[in-house]
Structure 1
Amino acid sequence: MSDLEFRRATADDIPAIVALLADDPLGAQRESPGDLAPYRAAFTELDRDPNQRLTVAVRDGRVVGTLQLTLIPGLSRRGATRALVEAVRVHPEERGHGLGTELLRWAIDTARAEGCALLQLTSDATRVDAHRFYERLGFQATHLGFKYPL
């Protein structure tokens, strides 16, 4: 994957990132690629937060993958900082070729370099293939997650 670049997302990447977010059954229900205004506002907030790493994988000048890594300082675990991975997406043409693995390795390496004691993620209960993928990478399903819609 030597022709692959991982870099911090820019505002110009928003359309490509949103398209990736919308390109699955769950994302198709909750994303609105035709109206980028809310994504631009959210990007502004993410971009100025030093604990956010909205990252894109770029090949031949095209965004082919993305994830968001959030650093969370805390008191538990002896004051440890943990990292949270969200919104891992790979372009359909890139799936099955190791890009997802490279994205998660980047997240693991970055979290380690930032001094994090733990890297965590959540995955929708219906994403069974994703669960197998994360387990193959060494993630363990140790907790039950809950959400409260606001």
Structure 2
Amino acid sequence: MDVRQLGTVDYLAAWQLQRDLADTRLAGGTDTLLLLEHPSVYTAGRRTLPHERPGPTAQGVPVIDTDRGGKITWHGPGQLVGYPIIRLAEPLDVLNYVRRLEESLIKVCTDLGLEVGRVDGRSGVWVPAAAVGRPQGRRDRRAGIAGDDAARICAQLRL
């Protein structure tokens, strides 16, 4: 497999590169894995509903309609993105492929000491982002929050 670490790449440029590599792969080329990050961008999959699209609070972050499944997704600085361009065995079983990708990511993250897992009914590998706790007393107004540093997690995945 040809692994390409590309740094920061505009989403549309990466999308075109994926299409070009897919055409090359179909013509007998090698499997390729693109590793990169994008400038801040939302991508809307085919199942994105109008009310799920970012509104005025997106502050100039582009929203790009894509040909993938799923819903709205944010990509941006500090987030490692991988695009495998591979030939799948026949008969095609896309769900099995997605689950195998998830298993691979769970293993890598676990080996790095990260707490990850699946969410029932959803695709993907999920990282607990934050915990919120508060005392049980009626008069006590203390509360605590703890969050994971997404940039640190992404840096670990680049090892």
Q: TM-score range by the shorter chain?
A: 0.3 to 0.5
* TM value normalised by structure 2: 0.32
Indicate the structure (1 or 2) with the bigger Cα radius of gyration.
Answer: 2
* TM value normalised by structure 1: 0.33
